[in-house]
Structure 1
Amino acid sequence: MQSKRLPSNGHLESHPEQLTVALLGKRAELRNIIGNMILGSNAFDTESHILVVGETSSFKIINTPDFFDEESLHTDQHIIDLMALSHPGPDLFILTIDPENTQEVDVVAQISKLQHTFGERITEHLVVTLPDMESFHSLGHLKEIFDIWLAPDENLASECRNLCSDCDPFLYDYRHYSQDVVTRRKTALETIQKQRCGGDPPCDVGSAGTSAHGVPDNIFNIVLLGLTGTGKSASANTILAVGNTRRGSRQLFRSEPSSMPVTTQCEFRIMEKPFGVLVRLVDTPDFFHDQLENSKAQVEECKKYCQPGHCVVLLVIQLGRFTDAEEGILEKLEDKLGWKIRESTIVLLTHGEGLKKRSLLRFIHESAPLKNIVELCGFRYHLFNNSLKDTKQVINLIKKIPNYNKMFPKLTKNY
């Protein structure tokens, strides 16, 4: 972003349309103050863990939750909602720095976190507000380092309009899910808003001329766990194929035969079809492999998605290749993740083509260790043939999720 100042005559450049601004920062109170200052109203007055929108004819302010909260389970959901509410993207991001985090190392850490979350080019649309003039002067050099705009809190409404006078909206780099997910979410949110307000115009919740509403949060996690070589990534791609009509390589998980871990960190993709709700599909590394770096960090990352009531665990085991390392694997995973995942686990057996015409149930009973794991998981098991991109085998898997009909009502209706 080039440094833009008010023209020398003191008048703003013409930019009459409504501007969309995303508020970011650690403290909800400060985000509320900045948002209300721009809107000239009291649209924001509470701490929220969901996105809240305030609007006037000049501005649409999207007040986000704390993207810096490492314990948040819904960061990607918030990104989808933010992009849906601002489609094709915000005109401007405002990062509010609170008085407790004005040290250079803290500010740099927050900017870097945003680059990691939204992509490097977010800085081209980023305004960083500072709580006092001392910080404004001491951190002035960051403007050149990150190509950002530093601003004190006052006159933000006029500054925002001036900065956006010749800027295109921010475009998110869709790495973990397709843009189709965002456009479908946009339609869903518009429908929710119409139902809530009883018509097309926005409902007035704040002061006169200002509307504000929260964005509901809903996402379900499918987490694949297991040892290297069992077919976790291949199984994830089989599931993903059902949820995406366009199967570009960027959407697939990397999968290839190897004795070394191919998946070295937790990765996810977001899908909606045919479930009718957003589903986060999480592929994980082999937490027990000696060559896995940062194993503890990856387990902590997995814990964010692997939560009681919000996920199903697919314990992936290759048919006919049950190893000594897999004996007791369920208990070992429970020890790492900190809760009895068996209550939400389906044993997913891969390489189903090897079963041929044999009975799967008889095969399980012939292996005492495998039978023990299946029994511990409430005898929930399923067979995948990942060489076949077959919708039916995926739908039948989903139907084995406890209470699936309540979680996926569209699936229940269509299949």
Structure 2
Amino acid sequence: MSSRESRAVVHGTAQRRRRSKERPPNLSDLRIVLLGKSVSENSRVGNFILGRAAFDSEAPPDVVERVGGRLKDRHLMIINSPQLLQTYISDHQITHTVRECVFLSDPGPHVIVLLLRHDQCSAEDQECVEKVLLSFSERVYQYTMVLSTQEPNETNDILQRIIQKCANRHFSLQRSSSPDDLLQMFEDIVKMNDGHHLECAEAAQYFTVKQQTTGRLSEGVKLNLVVCGSDGMLKSSVSEKILQQTDRRSDVEHHGRLMNLVELPALTRLSEEEVMRQTLSCVSLCDPGVHVFLLIVPDAPLTDEDKEEMEEIQRIFSSRINKHIMILIMQDSEHRTAELSEETQSVIERFGGRHHFFGPKTQVSTLMENIEQMLEENRGGFFSTETLLEAQMKKLLQLEEMKKKIHSLETHLLSQGNEQKNYGNIYIF
């Protein structure tokens, strides 16, 4: 990663750090959001722009990645979201991924690039594109262009309509194409918008839902949850179920509660630098801190990936996470085993002892009651960015202390070796 100027990965919700609208634009910094349907296609275009293998075509499709570089005299920051234009993406995933893009392009993107193919552009694709773009801002089209990576055999009317909405800005990437030509189109968009970036106020706000909860905590207190684990599909499934069921509840004995839900990507799939950026971003997005971490584990023998992910979570967040974590044991059916396996029981004990079974017909209300009980036990406490940084600082201090001890031992052994060597050189007459 030494060849990359900067890199960040986020999977989950994000809140843009607010900056003054009157701040003069940085004309040397160009932030580009790359939206597509294919990891390999997006990686190809991102690498073409930066002129190097900056994006990995084997990267997980649900990871939004930011990579920096230079093109001519411009510093570029490319935010790559390789699956957001897939038609199967849920509204929940769109909302979260758009917020990731906004967060990583802070204070906002200058250009949004749509990677579209002539042979893969249907009415359903058009509907998806419009939904995604309007999630950024109502003014998004004046910052957007279309890029295609193939010459059309025949005109695609739907693609042409999308291009027209983007003020007819279209770039066809061919073998003879130059990154400089594409940069000029970026510059034209920036110039047309007087050097200003897209304001994404709505997308930058926390994703909140109306949650009906017990009245045990004060009304209006926002609940910050982080869903973590090695299986991305399980995490998304749990997140959507929580949001859907809490949004639908209407028990008059309960009152409204704002909830912020963040999904943490599998840390074992990220580099050390990306792990640190991601975990810090995750916690910082839960202002003032994370109330509950929901760690997803299957009701089956744990895989090596499951175990490695838990080790990484414990390593990064330290044992201080234990009072804020609950193990969610996923079940394929409502059949609940009489006893937990020794392995699963060990995991639960290691992370503080709290667990909850989560199956297809599980009522989220029971989970929320357990979470409320956790909040009461913790007296409303949370895991903040300060807590995370303190944990990291403690590890660094322990590492420095260990280095000092090793150095002291090496010095001692070296001095002993020199004494023995000098003794061996003494001559007795």
TM-score normalized by the length of structure 2: 0.44
Larger Rg computed on CA atoms: 2
